[in-house]
Amino acid sequence: MQVLLGKFAQVLTLRNLPFKGVLKDEQLEIIENAGIWIKEGKIWKLGDFELLAQEAQKQKVEVLEFPYANLVALPGFIDCHTHICFAGNRAKDYALRIAGESYLNIAKSGGGILDSVRKTRNATEAELTENVCLRADFLLKQGITTIEVKSGYGLSVEEELKQLRAIQRADLQTTPDLVPTCLAAHTLPFEFNDKKTYLDHIAKELLPILVQEKLCKRVDIFVEPTAFPVDIAKEYLLKAQSLGFELTIHADQFNVGGSHLAVELGACSADHLEASTNIEIQRLAESETVAVVLPGASLGLGMNFAPARKLLDAGACVAISTDWNPGSAPMGDLLLQASVIAANQKLSTAETLAGITFRAAKALNLHQHKGRLQEGFSADIAIFATNDYREILYWQGQMKPIIVWKNDKFVEF
């Protein structure tokens, strides 16, 4: 299939921008009065719409001209850290938190992750599949065309498989691309008393099945003294690496240590980083590990944002994601969260948009074909009803795309 889309008041390509460090808005490439030529699901050409339309007509390529005067096109957004495969909610936990109770104390009293484990275990695979599809469709309406989805509310071989199979089924039923991640190492389940024993069990009994069934290529772990300490987390992650899994780590949320492990093992990303100090910031900046900041978790827990500004100034690659989950980050609104952390941390528009496009793609190791509007990349496009791209963050999440182009078709809202 070939088609020319246009015309756009502005196309922000985000091409030729570096993965690491500070970005100025003056570095953004903006093509005005532009068209996007798509061929076989990939971007074929970008440029002046009228010139491309003349060429397309000569080649008898379909030209789809929008009936709107002002449109801005951006790469489809990428939410590189979510937990949207779950059942139930934790409204009770949230009420306790805003009343002053701590996240860790709520977990000790029967709430927290294990509460979501109970509810998710009671759901069928079909129910979980439907839940993922509904949440993925909600994210699509924000212009998000690629979504990482973690397991981690099963915490047994059978239940983790149920979650990952549900994610796989949902990927076939919904428009965005879903990237599954095994987070069986989320916390210690009810059935085990020893953390190392549990991780050894998961490494031996679950991970080989994931390889055999091709359920995911990524493994995650929550590195915290209350979850899994650095020493036993390292042993588990090395086993996962030996089986061919890419790594990502819940790191430095309440205590440091996880980001050091992520850098040491060459993990794709270290996510959270609210507790990171200058030492951790510098190590991340000197590595190829993406620093993923999660403003939704900071809002949900009433804690400081991760030091995105310091990370960028030090030279790190910084991505922004929702952390959408039933406990600490139930919002799931990427544009709102990106706008909030941009205002709080003084991130430029270029840095913010990079954090939800090509830098987020790097966190998922998809940066060779996603996250930019450039020749040869996937034709994933978020289209906004404005003639000035700066309005998207200005409206602090209230401006959503009116059209998304994905899988060679329009999705209109």
Q: Is there a single domain that holds both residue 140 and residue 213?
A: yes
Q: Is there a single domain that holds both residue 180 and residue 155?
A: yes
Q: Is there a single domain that holds both residue 181 and residue 269?
A: yes
Q: Phi-psi region for residue 385, left (φ > 0), alpha (ψ -120 to 50) or beta?
A: beta
- CA–CA distance, 340 with 352 (Å, rounded to integer): 10
- CA–CA distance, 28 with 18 (Å, rounded to integer): 11
Nearest to 247 by CA among 233, 232, 262, 257: 262
Q: Is there a single domain that holds both residue 109 and residue 122?
A: yes
Cis peptide before 7 (omega within 30 of 0): yes
- CA–CA distance, 165 with 341 (Å, rounded to integer): 34
Q: Is there a single domain that holds both residue 265 and residue 321?
A: yes
Angle among Cα 177, 364, 286 to the nearest 5 degrees reads 160
Cβ atoms 75, 382 nearer than 8 A: yes
Is the model more confident about 4 or about 105?
Answer: 4
pLDDT at res. 102: 84
Q: Per-residue DSSP letters for 167-207?
A: HHHHHHHSSSEEEEEEEEESS--TT-S-HHHHHHHHHHHTH
Sort 191 into a burial class: Cβ within 10 Å, 0-12 / 13-18 / 19+. Answer: exposed
Domain span at 385: 2-75+372-412
Average pLDDT in the chain: 97
Q: What is the CATH number of the domain that holds 391?
A: 2.30.40.10
Q: Is there a single domain that holds both residue 14 and residue 121?
A: no
Residue 362 has pLDDT above 80, yes or no: yes
Q: Is there a single domain that holds both residue 117 and residue 138?
A: yes
- CA–CA distance, 254 with 237 (Å, rounded to integer): 20
Lateral strand order in the sheet of 218-222: 77-79, 144-150, 177-185, 218-222, 246-251, 269-272, 290-293, 318-320
Q: Is there a single domain that holds both residue 47 and residue 181?
A: no
pLDDT in tens, 123-177: 999 999 999 999 999 999 999 999 999 999 999 999 999 999 999 999 999 999 9
pLDDT in tens, 198-230: 999 999 999 999 999 999 999 999 999 999 999
Q: Is there a single domain that holds both residue 211 and residue 240?
A: yes
In angstroms, how far apart are the furthest CA atoms of the chain? 70
- CA–CA distance, 1 with 12 (Å, rounded to integer): 24
- The contacts of residue 328 (CB under 8 Å, 6+ apart) are 103, 296, 297, 300, 301
Rounded to an integer, the average pLDDT of 60-88 is 96
Query: Could you tell me how far CA 157 lies from the centroid of its own chain?
Result: 25
pLDDT in tens, 89-121: 999 988 988 899 887 788 877 788 999 999 999
Q: What is the CATH number of the domain that holds 160?
A: 3.20.20.140
Q: Per-residue DSSP letters for 307-323?
A: -HHHHHHHT--EEE---
Q: Is there a single domain that holds both residue 45 and residue 115?
A: no
Q: Per-residue DSSP letters for 347-371?
A: --HHHHHHHTTHHHHHHTT-TTTSS
pLDDT at res. 108: 77
pLDDT in tens, 176-190: 999 999 999 999 999
Q: Is there a single domain that holds both residue 70 and residue 102?
A: no
pLDDT in tens, 396-412: 999 999 999 999 999 98
pLDDT in tens, 306-361: 999 999 999 999 999 999 999 999 999 999 999 999 999 999 999 999 999 999 99
Q: Is there a single domain that holds both residue 68 and residue 87?
A: no
Q: How many domains in the chain?
A: 2
Q: What are phi and psi of 4, to 5 degrees?
A: -110, 125
CA atoms within 13 A on the CB side of 249: 34
pTM: 0.97
| Percentage of the chain lying above the pLDDT 90 cut | 94
pLDDT in tens, 237-270: 999 999 999 999 999 999 999 999 999 999 999 9
pLDDT bin (cut points 50, 70, 90) of residue 69 is confident
Rounded to an integer, the average pLDDT of 13-30 is 98
pLDDT at res. 184: 98
